[in-house]
Amino acid sequence: MANSAFSLHHFIYLIPLIVLSIITPTHQVVPLGSSLSARDGGTSWVSPSGDFAFGFHSLPNSSRFLLAIWFQKLPERTVIWSANRDNPVQGDSRVELTNNGYLVLYDHQGSEIWKKPNAGNDRVTSASMLDKGNFALLSTDSSLIWESFNEPTDTILPTQGLNKSSHLSSSLTQFDYSKGSFQLRLQDDGRLVLYLVAVPSGFTYAPYWLTDTAGVGLQVVFNESGYIYLKLINGTSVSLTPGNIVSTQDFYHRATLDFDGVLRQYVYPKTNESRASWASEWSIVMYEPPNVCLSVLTSLGSGTCGFNSFCALDEEQKTSCRCPPGYSYLDPNNTFAGCKQDFAPQSCQLGGETEASQFEMKELRNVDWSLNDYEKYYPINEDRCRQACLADCYCAVAIFKDDRCWKKRMPLSNGKMDYNVSRKTLVKVPKGNYSVPITPISTCRKEDRTALILIGSVLFGGSGLLNVLFLLAISLVLLFAHHRQKLMEHRPDPSIIPGTIKAQSCFIQQSSPFSAARLPISTLSAMAESSSS
């Protein structure tokens, strides 16, 4: 009986260990022959701590999958690496650690999509999702044969770095993980550089941010304490992380080259103590450049945003791309892809002067499209600047400042909006009929509601006689409007092009600039006096 009591007593103490062994991730070491399928319902290989997972990530609003690494414990999945970012696979795809030591991704037809290591190596005996967020192929003595840390996509983590042979490429959009328009490189000359690149060719435009470390830059380090710095050959460093940083014990850390071309360092609370004082979301603790809208300036390509749109920052340093009046997004699901005209352009018959009366110039302040000038007038007043653009069928936008006028033609590039852009922009649109897709619906609704409140106040606050007179006046206005509409239906004006006139009253409020943002500290090009700034 004593022995039974002893066994039961010890069994009770073993219960927590048994439960822990059941809920602890079992895929700490992945043996040869193991595989995962995209249809396994989220099955993945998890790190011993449970912080990171390797497996198939289902793309939003798609039936495709990425072979990826993500933060496992966060409510919203944050992908930090992917193998097939430019070639998502279908649901019957699988990844296998083959018996001869290769990690291979097969698509739904069994074709090989991706394979590591590149050369045959029979020393690979297992794989593991490590606690640092690094997925590794290991040899018998647990040395690394291949690791995801050496082939980053758009993100680096603490204990990871960038050598001169590696770089970060932004995603195309927030939910499209394909290679985007921006790269972070540590060049052979030692400078850390942000580039604008052409998609899909990868052609490199001019850099828009860099460090002054030519000849001395050695390696980008993201150390275990959460600090990012550029290590120099003399043993010193240039810090990118400002001031004191929160602990990596209490916070998840990552640095990502976001799809808008900004390198940002993020932190996310992971303990009860840190969540008590921080919001349970990714918070920005560092970003470069300080204002990407003003930093990017290139003679080729569209700039930060697509052609015919302009870039702006809000108070939280979030980048948005907006369309001018009379234009709308090429792709509503990707506002960074540019804007298109929503009206027939001015005819060039007889130089366009005969159609000038059918167009007008709508004003934007603190907005410019740089390097699109094809003609300049000086000295000139604003009215003559307007007329010069109206009479010119090539002119899409006129810029006016200090008795100077610049004409710009499509496509418009390097668009930006900022208080530091101190000039008046005049956009050519058809008279009385243009769309303003950048205006929030709530602004218009607020105006409509204000008008109704005003009418109600007059009706209920005035005397009976005043109410009768007021209602009579409204009736006469409505009758006149109805009569005029009937006449317009029988006499259509050929100069009017169908569009959305409803949003017109909202545009003036929306065209006010965002709050001022810090000027870039490390940009290549300063704003010039001309409109090509």
DSSP 193-258: EEEEE-TTT--EEEEEEE-S-TTTEEEEEE-TTS-EEEEETTS-EEE-S-S----TTTEEEEEEE-
Among 290-294, 325-329, 463-467, 504-508, the least confident range: 504-508
- CA 411, CA 416: separation in Å to the nearest integer? 14
SS (H, E, C) 342-387: CCCCCCCHHHHHHHHHHEEEEEEECEEECCCEEEEECCCCHHHHHH
- 145 pLDDT band (50/70/90 cuts)? very high
pLDDT of residue 503: 30
314, amino acid identity: D
Which tens digit of pLDDT belongs to each residue from 349-398? 766 667 788 999 999 999 999 988 999 999 999 999 999 999 999 999 99
User: Each residue of 483-516: pLDDT tens digit?
Assistant: 444 433 433 333 322 333 233 323 222 332 222 2
Check residues 303 and 469 and name the one with the higher pLDDT. Answer: 303
**What are residue 397's DSSP bridge partners?**
408, 427
What DSSP designation does 478 have? H
Question: Do the Cβ atoms of 369 and 339 come closer than 8 Å?
Answer: no
Query: What type of residue sits at position 499?
Result: G
pLDDT for the residue numbered 371: 87
Pick the range with the lowest mean pLDDT from 2-6, 93-97, 125-129: 2-6
Residue 1 has pLDDT above 50, yes or no: no
Task: Using DSSP, state whether 502 is helix, strand or coil.
Answer: helix
Write down the pLDDT at residue 135: 98
The rounded distance, in Å, linking the Cα atoms of 51 and 72 is 5
Which structure tokens are listed for 238? 């240039």
Average pLDDT on 451-479 reads 43
Contact between residue 427 and residue 364 where contact means Cβ atoms under 8 Å apart: yes
Q: What is the pLDDT of residue 331?
A: 94
Contacts of 397 (CB under 8 A, 6+ apart): 324, 369, 372, 389, 407, 408, 412, 425, 426, 427, 428
Q: Which CA distances in Å does 66 have to 85, 93, 162, 359, 398?
A: 6, 10, 23, 49, 46
74 SS3 class: coil
- DSSP assigned state of 109: T
pLDDT score of 323 more than 60: yes
Averaging pLDDT over each range in 201-210, 396-405, 477-486, which range is the top one? 396-405
CA distances from 12 to 9, 16, 23, 153, 325 (A): 5, 8, 18, 48, 73
Q: What is the mean pLDDT of residues 287-313?
A: 94
**What is the dihedral angle through the alpha carbons of 30, 31, 33, 38, rounded to the nearest 10 degrees?**
-10
pLDDT at 478: 53
Whole-number percent of the chain with pLDDT over 90 = 63
**Strand order through the sheet with 94-97:** 35-37, 94-97, 103-106, 112-116
DSSP tally for the chain: helices H, then strands E = 7, 35
pLDDT tens for each residue of 335-346: 999 999 999 999
Say whether 399 sits in a helix, a strand or coil: strand
pLDDT computed for residue 315 by the predictor: 78
Indicate the pTM of the whole model. 0.77
Q: With 0-12 CB in 10 A as exposed, 13-18 as middle and 19+ as buried, what is 493?
A: exposed
Provide the angle, in degrees to the nearest 10, between the axes of the packed helices 441-461 and 464-490. Answer: 140
